[in-house]
Amino acid sequence: MKNQNEINRRRTFAIVSHPDAGKTTLTEKLLLFGGAIHVAGAVKNNKIKKGATSDFMEIERQRGISVATSVMGFEYSGYKVNILDTPGHQDFQEDTFRTLTAVDSVIIVIDAAKGVEPQTEKLMNVCRMRKTPVIVFINKLDRPALDSFNLLDNIENQLQIKTCPLSWPINNGPDFKGVYNIYNQNIKLFSPNIQNIEEGVCIDDMDSTELKSVIGSDFEILHEELELVNGVYPEFSQTDYLNGNLAPVFFGSALYNFGVQELLDAFLEIAPPPQPAVAEERLVKPEEPDFTGFVFKIHANIDPNHRSRIAFVKVCSGKFVRNNTYLHIRLGKNMRISSPTAFMAEQKEIIEEAYPGDIIGIPDNGSFIIGDTLTEREIIHYKGLPSFSPELFRYIENDDPLKSKQLNKGIDHLMDEGVAQLFINQFNGRKIIGTVGQLQFEVIQFRLEHEYNAKCRFDPIHIYKACWIESENPGILTEFKKRKYQKMAKDKLGRDVFLADSPFILQITQDEFKEIIFHFTSEF
């Protein structure tokens, strides 16, 4: 229990949203309040020359989107805050889903003009399955927006969770005047200054002359709407929130840094500290004395100049200490970790210790894969890292014969990250890349060229589904692989994969070979 104070002051959360809802911009402003950066950046804004801290990869800066989860930590008001900024684009949702296994709570960002969008629903489904507490931040109130009550109805219907507004906007768009903080019972008046860390004038007296003169006719409307809010929506219950049954809602504008501090202050007060983690063997509590953790992400070339590769480890229990030796469960060997790092996107620094809730980076020479467990001594296996069956397939070919070594190295590194899946066709020996979205092929091509100096091209191949196969009857398995030789492949770990041409072919094959078990994800 000696680590309890450090555990209680940690908040590890992910920021998720549909693309372009303002998730990365919100991350920037949270970092600004934490003093982690001094000038906030923007994903796409001509008024701001600095790029977003969390979008540190070259392709992210060019496209104006996040394609990989970024990890950022800072101290704020006595708390150690760990933010994981996730990709919003659906082609990278596997990275986002893995990230949700490493956090204790989630902030969902919603565009006030669009409401709940499809990707947000998918992410909420994952939070619901894991009973992860969520807070909703309705963003872009400085632009014309949907009616606030309609937005809350939309959230309740689409995300299937009760809402509890803890702030309330005074109009929107060009007439946006500010936000009434229901949680603290005061009003912040809107000041449209992008670089402003102060959130405008704060008024505690709802009946003050100054307030009436500033918001004019909206004063009576605000009173009426607040009466309706009090009558329609439940009072905030931290228990319901922590159980994943109630979503507190805040309104603001991340671009103008408005509504962000009240979101952060309330979040730190009500959000959960590090929670118990589920291992296959048992439930592991954060206050246990022995260190345990798991790898939820691998990133190659976090510093392209040094070809560095980092395994991201979530500390689940105990205390991690630099230069201590820890057991790598899958390999069954002890590893001395001498250069653990903490992150600010691509910037990192050596740390001496870490506690439950912290995310640490371990330099990796190929020893780690996603899902690996590290412990002090106990043999346990953390679970719950989702893996998707690819939906799109392409042959990957070398476009520069002089750079085949660089290409092969790049492919190996990117596949270890979980960017996509690699299959080797047993009939012709060609490499096949499987992804869940078209944009992933573009990212792979871009990163191979700019990080590994290797050019590739993708050739078409018709595959409906990749199926991992196994059987308790070795003879049947051998017969199957002989009969289906042209459609057999090996994955990166050397496991047998059947590449089905169509749903019809797959069904016929399953009917014919009853003793073969077909798996549609790589985790079985």
Average pLDDT in the 349-354 region? 90
Q: CB count, 10 Å around CB of 6? A: 19
Tell me, yes or no, whether 150 and 233 share the same domain: yes
Tell me, yes or no, whether 18 and 106 share the same domain: yes
Tell me, yes or no, whether 370 and 400 share the same domain: no
The pLDDT of residue 201 is: 61
The pLDDT of residue 53 is: 46
366 dihedral zone (left: phi>0; alpha: psi -120 to 50; beta): left
Tell me, yes or no, whether 249 and 290 share the same domain: no
Q: Is residue 90 part of a domain?
A: yes
Tell me, yes or no, whether 72 and 212 share the same domain: yes
Average pLDDT in the 431-436 region? 90
As for how many domains the chain has, the answer is 3
Tell me, yes or no, whether 97 and 210 share the same domain: yes
Q: pLDDT band for position 510 (50/70/90)?
A: very high
The pLDDT of residue 518 is: 93
User: Mean pLDDT in the chain?
Assistant: 84
Tell me, yes or no, whether 149 and 95 share the same domain: yes
Tell me, yes or no, whether 253 and 323 share the same domain: no
Domain boundary among 346, 375, 404: 375
Kindly list the distances between the CA atom of residue 299 and the CA atoms of 65, 239, 355, 375, 398, in Å, as whole numbers in the listed order.
Answer: 17, 36, 22, 21, 23
pLDDT in tens, 44-68: 333 333 444 444 445 444 444 444 4
345-353: list long-range contacts, CB under 8 Å, 24+ apart: 345/53, 345/54, 345/56, 345/70, 345/71, 345/72, 346/56, 346/302, 346/303, 348/302, 348/310, 350/322, 351/322, 352/321, 352/322, 353/319, 353/320, 353/321, 353/322
CATH number at residue 365: 3.40.50.300
Q: Is residue 208 part of a domain?
A: yes
Q: Is residue 437 part of a domain?
A: yes
Q: Is residue 350 part of a domain?
A: yes
pLDDT in tens, 326-343: 999 999 999 999 989 887
Average pLDDT in the 113-122 region? 88
Q: What is the pTM of this model?
A: 0.79
The pLDDT of residue 423 is: 95
Tokens of residue 348, six digits? 């990192």
Question: What phi and psi, each to the nearest 5 degrees, are found at residue 269?
Answer: -75, -40
Share of the chain above pLDDT 90, in %: 52
Distance between CA atoms of 438 and 355, rounded to whole angstroms?
38
Domain boundary among 270, 291, 319: 270
Q: Is the pLDDT of residue 195 over 70?
A: no
Q: At what angle do helices 260-270 and 23-33 cross, to 10 degrees?
A: 80
| Residues linked to residue 350 through DSSP beta bridges, in sequence order | 341
Closest CA to 244 of 159, 344, 145: 159
The pLDDT of residue 56 is: 41
Domain boundary among 270, 301, 316: 270
Q: Is the pLDDT of residue 304 over 60?
A: no
Q: Are 486 and 427 in contact (CB under 8 A)?
A: yes
Question: What phi and psi, each to the nearest 5 degrees, are found at residue 303?
Answer: -125, 95
Q: Which domain holds residue 449?
A: 392-519
State the alpha helices, DSSP H only, in 64-117.
93-99
Kindly list the distances between the CA atom of residue 504 and the CA atoms of 197, 252, 468, 507, in Å, as whole numbers in the listed order.
Answer: 59, 51, 18, 5
Q: Is residue 382 part of a domain?
A: no
Tell me, yes or no, whether 209 and 324 share the same domain: no
Q: Is the pLDDT of residue 362 over 80?
A: yes
Tell me, yes or no, whether 139 and 158 share the same domain: yes
Q: Is residue 386 part of a domain?
A: no
Q: Is residue 381 part of a domain?
A: no
Tell me, yes or no, whether 225 and 333 share the same domain: no
The pLDDT of residue 39 is: 41
Tell me, yes or no, whether 368 and 417 share the same domain: no
**DSSP class of residue 195?**
T
The pLDDT of residue 426 is: 92
Q: Is the pLDDT of residue 281 over 60?
A: yes
Question: What phi and psi, each to the nearest 5 degrees, are found at residue 352?
Answer: -95, -30
Q: Is residue 206 part of a domain?
A: yes
Q: Are 462 and 501 in contact (CB under 8 A)?
A: yes
Lowest mean pLDDT among 43-57, 94-108, 150-164, 395-409: 43-57
Closest CA to 91 of 392, 445, 491, 458: 392
The pLDDT of residue 91 is: 45
Distance between CA atoms of 93 and 72, rounded to whole angstroms?
19
CATH number at residue 480: 3.30.70.3280
Q: pLDDT band for position 386 (50/70/90)?
A: low
Q: Is the pLDDT of residue 413 over 70?
A: yes
pLDDT in tens, 201-238: 666 666 666 677 677 788 888 889 999 999 999 999 99
Closest CA to 311 of 340, 290, 286: 340
